[in-house]
Copies of this chain bind each other. A is one copy, B any other.
Amino acid sequence: MKFRRSERLIDMTNYLLEHPHQLVSLTYFSERYGSAKSSISEDLAIIKETFEHRGIGTLQTVPGAAGGVKYQVRMTEEDAQPIINQLCELIASPNRLLPGGYLYMTDILGDPMIVKQVGRLFASAYADKEIDVVMTVATKGIALAYAVANYLNVPVVIVRRDSKVTEGSTVSINYVSGSAKRIQTMVLSKRSLEEGSRVLIVDDFMKAGGTVNGMISMLEEFNAALVGIAVLVEAEKAEERLVDDYLSLVRLSDVDVKEKKINVTHGNYFTNKQVEGKS
């Protein structure tokens, strides 16, 4: 076995993983290794097969002079199931319960491995959508937003509760928080979102959806388009859900503070993802 090919396979794997959702031309690889395009094509076929076999993702081939390959994360239901199961188990732990029925999730959101997995799941669900930017609101959703954006290779835009001098001029909107029915404010730096951007909203938790709804109003201010909404945890008890079409990994169906019990089920990831895929 030639060392040359081994080295190419290892380096190309790293390169593709580091540049997801980006078209890489055969010429680029051919020049990088001083190898014929036919060899590069063979390498890519092996990488594609392995990526798909091992659940790493897929290589999309774009033929023609301007063509090349594009790595996309792709998770099968078989790969996703154990991750979501694990998340459910983690979240159902009774010592997460805080006064007022809130849930402590800081440790989960602080674990880069978990955050990465959640990012993979969401990026995989939206891999076929045209997305220009991932939006979230400070602070808890930020890590998840970056994890998704990493795999989709798009920038992150962070909506804030208060404006800061370092943001430059901002657009500010008022919205009604869904559960508490209070008027709240959110701001976004004017420079940070281009008109007409196609936006995926990512957040850690959704109750009635007031905050997500606020972000949707913000999108309107920027003439941006909503492509999807992805949340890690949704609370079921929202009688008046303000948002319909979203993806969730985990659903809190019942939180009993007195009995210290949290009931957790799968979110709508598997059911809604298919709908997403069809549209």
B-contacting residues of A (Cβ < 8 Å)?
1-3, 5-7, 9-11, 13-14, 17-18, 46-47, 49-51, 53-54, 56, 98-100, 102-107, 110-113, 115-116, 138-140, 142-143, 146-147, 149-150, 153-158, 160, 165-168, 189, 191-192
Contact = CB atoms under 8 A, between A and B. Distances in A.
A156 B110 contact: yes
A165 B257 CA distance: 15
The binding surface of chain A is classed by DSSP as: helix
A115 B146 contact: yes
A104 B165 CA distance: 9
A156 B112 contact: yes
Contact of A143 (B5, B11, B146): B146
Contacts of A103: 166
B2 A1 contact: yes
Q: How many copies does the complex hold?
A: 2
A107 B56 contact: no
Nearest to A115: B146
Contact of A7 (B46, B112, B140): B46
Nearest to A189: B106
A113 B102 CA distance: 34
Given A139-B138, A146-B143, A111 B155 contact: yes
B5 A1 contact: yes
A147 B54 CA distance: 25
A10 B7 contact: no
A142 to B, nearest CB: 5
